[in-house]
Structure 1
Amino acid sequence: MSLALKNHIEKIVSLTDEEFKYVLSFFTKKKLQKHQFLIASGAPVQTDHFVLKGLLKATYTNDEGKQHILQFAMEDWWVTDYQAYFLQTNATLNIDCLENSEVLCLTLENREKLCRELQKIEHFFRIKTSMGFVAQQQRILSLLNKDAKGRYNQLLEQYPQLLQRVPKTILAAYLGVTRETLSRL
């Protein structure tokens, strides 16, 4: 069903065809339309999501109504409201589709079962989680230490494909600048 997921996992661990078939049996597939919410703030978060196709953005809206873009997620990336997912609480984030999207969904219960049963998958998720922490720290440090041009150049270097897929107003919001400033960059 999903060669993309198998290739993604095998960047870290090797799986036999039987092992992968078993792993895949724990996932469900979901299709979403552009502008549709994968996760809505205030709703329970049941699943983590591996992006097969499309582009999504995760946002937080503060008490004053200002929206902050935390991350984008495209093919071969994972996305959810991790606080709500791991603590089994309601979402504080919104995750919506910037393009028509397809994701594979994994419940926390199934993730835990897979990790208990297959040491390779536990290792895979440990590495993915660690790299997620690294990426989050880099993002925070970029916001704290770099000016607009520095943040733009870092984004261009790390994720050049995003610039072609994300509307300029949304890209500007992610970088913490106005659309006009982004145009000048």
Structure 2
Amino acid sequence: MSQVLREHIQQLVPLSDEEFAYVLAHFTPRKFRKHQFLVQAGEAVSADFFVVSGLLRSYFTNDEGKDHILQFAMEDWWISDYQAYFGQAPATLSIDCLEPVEVLCLSLENREKICADLHKMEHFFRKKSNAGYMALQRRILSLLTNNARQRYEELLRQNPALFQRVPKTLLASYLGVSRETLSRFSA
């Protein structure tokens, strides 16, 4: 588990063995079963989750009970309800496992500690946050300006592995189309 995190961090910042050992000591490894929740709407969010293995989805359930998928997360990705995590407020999103999952959990307190103690990690998290903001903006603009086929093709181009691992009903929900429409695109 630790090697995956180290390689992930070292894509952006170099760390000595001692620095990485310090950083790793602030993470808690956890395993979850398929269909188990990491975060449930209305509850406190204890961590930001780095995905070592497996696949998750983050979604919002509206008043009518319809789920709206915001994000999938697989190996080498981060996921949480960031509004709740940073704001220390109850979650508005739910995050569950689409496969068995292994994650490294980072509490907000530990994140702040390692950022205060290691400027390199503050730089790392700033770069990761910036990349997340850019991805979110691309997704919103895609939803606002692209038709369903364009959104499908964009997702297929950016994340082809999702199409092998995510059930079509969930991909359709993420893209904002019916299961039948998605089937026509992939035929």
* Structures share fold, TM-score greater than 0.5: yes
Asked if 1:6 corresponds to 2:13, the answer is no
**Corresponding residue pairs, total:** 185
Structure 1 unaligned blocks of 5 or more: none
Q: Note the C-alpha offset of 1:41.
A: 0.5
Q: Deviations over 1:95-143 (max 9, x none)?
A: 0000000000000000001000000000000000000000011111111
Structure 1 segments of 4 or more deviating over 4 A? Answer: none
Structure 2: how far apart are the matches of 1:34 and 1:63?
A: 25
Question: CA–CA distance in 2 between the matches of 1:32 and 1:61?
Answer: 22
Q: Distance in 1 between matches of 2:81 and 2:40?
A: 10
Deviations 1:46-85 (A, max 9, x none): 1000000000000001122211000000000000000000
Give the AA of the match of 2:176. Answer: G
SS at match of 1:133: helix
Partner amino acid for 2:87? L
SS in 2 for 1:104: strand
How does 1:1-185 map onto structure 2 within 5 Å?
1-185=1-185
Measured in 2, the distance between the counterparts of 1:7 and 1:28 equals 18
Q: Distance between the aligned counterparts of 1:64 and 1:169, measured in 2?
A: 18
Q: Tell me which amino acid in the other structure corresponds to 2:137.
A: Q
Alpha-carbon distance in 1 for matches of 2:173, 2:126: 31
TM-score of the superposed pair, with normalisation by structure 1? 0.99
Percent of pairs with identical residues: 63
Partners of 2:137 and 2:149 lie apart in 1 by: 19
Q: Which amino acid letter does the alignment assign opposite residue 173 of structure 1?
A: S
- For 1:66 and 1:138, the matched residues in 2 are separated by 23
Q: CA deviation at 1:24?
A: 0.1
AA aligned to 2:92 is T
Match of 1:134, as an amino acid?
M
**TM-score by structure 2 length?**
0.98
What secondary structure does 2:41 align onto?
A: coil
Question: What CA distance in whole angstroms lies between the structure 1 residues aligned with 2:30 and 2:41?
Answer: 19
Gaps of 5+ in 2: none
**Counterparts of 1:144 and 1:66 in 2: how far apart (Å)?**
20
- Shift in Å, 1:25: 0.1
Supply the AA of the counterpart residue of 2:179: R
Point out the more displaced range, 78-87 or 63-72.
63-72
